[in-house]
Structure 1
Amino acid sequence: MNSLLFDFTVDKESKTVFIAREFKAKLPLVWDAFTKQEILDKWWAPKPFISKTKSMEFKEGGRRFYAMTNAEGEVLGWQMHDYTSISPKTNFKFFNAFADKDENLQLPGSHWDFTFSEQDGVTTVNITIYNDSLERMERMIEMGFKEGFTATLNELDKLLTNQTHDVTP
């Protein structure tokens, strides 16, 4: 397979963004890349930015709290993911919001739903992002969310291309 699927659709009427992305990697490795702090911090930001997790507990009711930093380590902003549902190796969901350094949320937020499937060594990740308000979604799009998240997923693709599942993060 020469070209991997990548689709990014914005539906303003439903306040939802739909993303489908294929990775030439086995499902367990892709799942780990989305659910393990030590791997997430290697790719969950478009370069030159860096994601630095302060705390993470990947379980229903758990939370990931992290900073987006520049290359010099200066914190540009904080975000929180509250995990609301986890079905191992197939699906997880979280509520996302910006926050301050003390984990005080800046609402409204968005609800992210990740679904994973594999066929012939290619893993597809479908991401649905429902925004609590149209204004929030429009602000994210204006801030370059499509370009930034596309670059972020490309960082994951590079990482997966250079990894095998027996390599520890």
Structure 2
Amino acid sequence: MKPTLLFDFTVDKENSTVNVKREFAAEHSLVWDAWTKPEMLDKWWAPKPYVTKTKSMNFTNGGRWLYAMEGPEGDKHWCLADYSAIDTKNSFKHLDAFCDPEGNISDAMPRSAWSTKFTNQGETTLVNVSIKHDTLEDLEKIIEMGFKEGFTMAMGNLDELFSNLK
């Protein structure tokens, strides 16, 4: 019987923040790679039936990941991550945004500041994600769009990826 892995998704309205704690049955370096290498991100980041297609990625301080989440009908939702701090194998921070295929940020949707931390727990790895929004209204807009459901599905995709790599 496989152990139950931690999954905690909380919304802190007072601080306009989403906090997600998610444990994975995979070694620390593999989990880090899954969050920081485009060839792995493309296999799990988008909630099904969408798929992620990286256009470019420079995982460095000041670098950027530009990608599309593509639907089964061919619709594309372009997004980017602007990396602001990287502590290799431990944590990284980025600003998230919706954009066009060239990376020009959309004013129609709010940006959010992500902080992602990785904790080696031996046979499992804990990922702690904090997503800060400028306003409660911005946070509520993202939640209404289905962020919790989509991110939960993506975490399931990552579990699937890890189990297929064993």
TM-score, structure 1 length as denominator?
0.92
SS of aligned partner of 2:42: helix
Q: What is the match of residue 122 of structure 1?
A: 124
1:41-95 residue CA offsets vs partner (Å, 9 max, x unmatched): 00001100111111100000000011111124331x1111000000010000100
Q: What is the match of residue 167 of structure 1?
A: none
Q: What is the match of residue 6 of structure 2?
A: 5
SS of aligned partner of 2:33: helix
1:117-148 residue CA offsets vs partner (Å, 9 max, x unmatched): 11121000000000122222111100111011
SS of aligned partner of 2:74: coil
Q: What is the match of residue 133 of structure 1?
A: 135
Q: Which structure 2 residues correspond to residues 4-153 of structure 1 after superposition, within 5 A?
A: 4-75=5-76, 77-107=77-107, 108-153=110-155
Residue identity matched to 2:33? D
Higher mean C-alpha displacement, 64-73 vs 8-17: 64-73
Shift of 1:32: 0.2
Shift of 1:101: 2.1
Counting matched residue pairs gives: 163
Gaps of 5+ in 2: none
Identity percentage of aligned residues: 52
**Does residue 163 of structure 1 match 2:165?**
yes
Q: What is the match of residue 154 of structure 1?
A: 156
Shift of 1:20: 0.2
SS of aligned partner of 2:43: helix
Residue identity matched to 2:88? P
Higher mean C-alpha displacement, 64-73 vs 52-61: 64-73
SS of aligned partner of 2:15: coil
The structure 1 segments of at least 4 consecutive aligned residues displaced by more than 6 Å after TM superposition are: none
